[in-house]
Amino acid sequence: MAARREKMPPTTLNLPARHSLTPLEQIVYEVGSVMPLTPPTTPDVTPLPLFPITETKTPDNDPGSSENNSIKSVEKKRFTVIEPAVFLVYVATALAGAVLQNQQLYQTCVAVYNYDKELCEPMLGVIAKNETSKEIETKVQPYVANIIMTSSVISSVLPAFLSLFIGPWSDKFGRRPVLVATFSAALMGHSITTILAAISMATPVNPWIYIISNIPLALTGGTCALITMVFCLVSDVSDEGGKARRMFFVDGALGIGTLIGNVISSYILAGTGTIGVFAIAAGMDLLALLYLLFFVSESLKLKHERKESKLREFFHFDLIKDLVRSCLKRRPHYDRAIIWCIMFTLVTTTFVMQGESNVFYLFLRNKFNLTLQEFTTYNAITICIKMVGCGLILVILRVVFKAPLITVAMLGLLGCFTDSLIRSLAEQFWQMYLAATCGFMGGINSPMLQAVLAGLVEATEIGKVYAVISSLQTLSPLASAPVYTGIYRATLESYPGAFYFLSASIYLVCFVLITCLFVMQRIGAKAARQPSAS
């Protein structure tokens, strides 16, 4: 077991080992690891790196060399501050997300079902629905749900395949090319959406055409590739003592950007209209890309004399064999079973979140007649509750009471189960806030399980295992989108919240599985201590 706590060398995803921390460092360490909470409307799953490690002091016999390294480190960090670009991209993503669904509802109502624009206008989310528009939207929503499902599939299949190769490729050719490609693709996607929205003002267009806007980002690896490269870049340029701080700032930029985008989207929609929202989102993407081009340099020292084709190097299928071999090989003390239990839990919880995100907004509009402003306000408050709640729980359980990681993960899954169960039974909108409050620990389970996984896998294999998890998580909407969309369509008129019963059941299964994992880990630890005692 001691060998697993040794300092790990950088891997493809730069997943560090755990070290002993001071109380203050522990707080930053735990809170920083749980900051990136996925809001209910975010369609893309973004797997994040594990816990940043704190400084490990080593003797330095060459003061001059240390000073030179420090100067180089400062110079390197100066041109790799990527947090502002991350903030802008996630503001743009959250800003355009719900508004795009409103636009699809409106275009379906006008172009597909041929209703008058006045009857369809409440579907833009600015004004509340009347009885007539409620009946119309009940007919329109199943059609839009199919569009959302198809968009999720496009945004999942190709990025899941590419995620297996992007990390190793960036180790050879640098992080910056992938970042430039993904930031450019995000700009292109929102620009296409803006153009299509402008065309729809002149003539009705079929809402299926908006799927085109998902293609550019999917071809570059999706948001999975974007955020993975961001954390790789931060890991490349940060010393051991600075990783916790930089990871915390990146997570904060992501979470705050999503929060602000959700809050301001309804106000911008009311002030500028749909085209204005998409244009502002594209403008933020452009600012992020310009910042990346002019203020962020390459974090790796590259060999410019390399003659191999970059495209040929990208599709190196020997890497796939190594991934499979690392995940399937036999390990002592139930470790292989524990690893697969954790992988199953991480992927299935992502399955739930992705499935819910496809129909969540439609559910709230149908069940509680929410406007976009009310929805974004609820979304923002939910994110704040989870950010604050998870931070407090981590400080109390991990720093004060030193609770095991598995125990905290079990409580997180229990919170997710409670949240989904209350939502499924909600009849008044205030009960949705009650669900968010009772499920304030939801989301804490993922980083806790990732930390357990990091302690079970060798340094040379951790990148491979997380590449597999990342790929499966990215593929999860391929299964969850049709399942949740099908349930929602079948129960739209009778019980629109029925899909939350499925979510609650899955969380309950994961809770039981992690409880068994806790027992297996205890047995494995006892078996490992017996030979040393003898």
Distance CA 286, CA 305 (A): 32
Provide the sign of the torsion angle of the four alpha carbons 178, 184, 188, 190, taken in this order: positive
Q: What is the full per-residue pLDDT of the chain (534 aa) written as tens digits?
A: 333 333 343 333 333 333 334 333 443 344 344 333 333 333 343 333 333 333 333 334 444 444 444 444 444 555 678 889 999 999 999 899 878 988 999 999 999 998 888 888 888 877 777 788 888 888 898 899 889 888 888 887 888 888 777 767 776 777 788 899 999 999 999 999 999 999 988 888 899 999 999 999 999 888 877 877 777 777 777 665 455 456 667 777 887 888 888 888 888 988 888 899 999 999 999 999 999 999 888 777 766 545 456 666 666 776 677 667 777 888 777 788 888 999 899 899 989 998 998 899 889 988 998 877 788 789 889 888 888 888 788 788 877 888 888 888 899 999 999 999 999 999 999 999 999 999 888 877 877 787 777 677 775 566 567 667 777 888 887 888 889 989 998 999 899 999 999 999 999 999 999 998 888 778 777 777 776 555
DSSP-assigned letters across all residues of 108-163: IIIIIS---HHHHGGGGSSS---HHHHHHHHHHHHHHHHHHHHHHHHHHHHHHHHH
24-35+80-297 and 331-529, same CATH topology: yes
Contacts of 304 (CB under 8 A, 6+ apart): none
Alpha-helix residue ranges (DSSP H) falling in 174-242: 176-202, 215-219, 222-237
DSSP single-letter state for residue 308: S
Alpha helices in 315-395 (DSSP H): 318-328, 335-368, 372-394
Q: Does domain 331-529 sit in CATH 1.20.1250.20? A: yes
CATH topology of domain 24-35+80-297: Growth Hormone; Chain: A; (1.20.1250)
d(CA 463, CA 457): 9
How far is residue 518's CA from residue 513's CA, in Å, rounded to a whole number? 9
For the chain, which residues make up each domain, given as ranges? 24-35+80-297, 331-529
